[in-house]
Every structure is written in C-alpha cells, then in structure tokens.
Amino acid sequence: MTGQTGQTTAAAPRGLTFLRTAIALQTLTLFFQAVTAGMLLTSSHGYLMHDVGSKVMYAAAMLYVLAAVLAWRPGGGSLRPVLYATGFLLLASAQVVLGIAHLPSFHVPLGVVMFALSTLALVRTLSRSLPLRPAASS
C-alpha cells in the first residue's frame, strides 16, 4: 500500500481564477458601454465616455484571449475557452468597425448580443465545479 487514505481535495485548475476575472471584467465593460450608449442621447460627455469605454472593452477582450490561452496551455485542458475568447475578440473587432462607421442599426444589436454572450460565458465559468484530486499523503 502507498499510504493513501482515499481523501480528496478541491483542486483549482491553473489560470481559472485569471480566466474568471478576465470574463468578469469583459462583462462589466460591456455593461458600461450600454450605459454610456444611453448617455450619448442625454449628455455631452456621453461620446467621450463611450469612446474611452470602447478601448477598455477591446482591451478586456484581448485579456480574455490571453487568460484563456494561459488556462489551456499549462494543463493541456480543453481548447474550447480559447475558441470562445477568439470568437469574442472577432465580435469586438466587428463592433469597433460598426461603431466607427456610425451604423447603429447593426452596432446596437451586436452590443446586446455581445453582452448576453459574455454574461453566459461568465455564468458558465463561475458555475463550473472544481475537479477533485486525491489528497497528498503524508
């Protein structure tokens, strides 16, 4: 016998906390963008805030890609989060192009879709249960 007692402990995969934080940041920046889009209609500062927020949102999307790669790479886990993050970065790129082109009939619905997808990714990541691994024997 090796002296293992059969106990298990929760093991948080490497990078999972960073991934959760990156998705939460992305979701919050998208919500901020929705708020500042409404401010465009009522305030002279709305444009500046929406413009700055768009840059922060795009940076958050890039951070999400980085976090997904770092969570996948060390443990050789599923490639799915990397694909989701990359797809989201593509949507963010399209959103920037549509915003610069002043096409609100496409820009606004895509923003709603992006917020919904980011919220779903966040809920999915937060609700993922931690895998169990055998406790270290002493």
pLDDT along the chain (138 residues), means of 10: 48 72 96 93 89 96 94 78 94 96 94 96 81 52
pLDDT at 137: 56
pLDDT at 43: 86
pLDDT at 16: 82
Q: How many helices (H) and strands (E) does the chain have?
A: 4, 2
pTM (predicted TM-score)? 0.79
Tell me the two tokens of residue 114: 């992006």
Asked whether the beta carbons of 122 and 37 are under 8 A apart, the reply is no
SS3 per-residue string spanning 11-49:
CCCCCHHHHHHHHHHHHHHHHHHHHHHHHHHHCCCHHHH
Tell me the two tokens of residue 14: 């490497």
Tell me the two tokens of residue 76: 């050789």
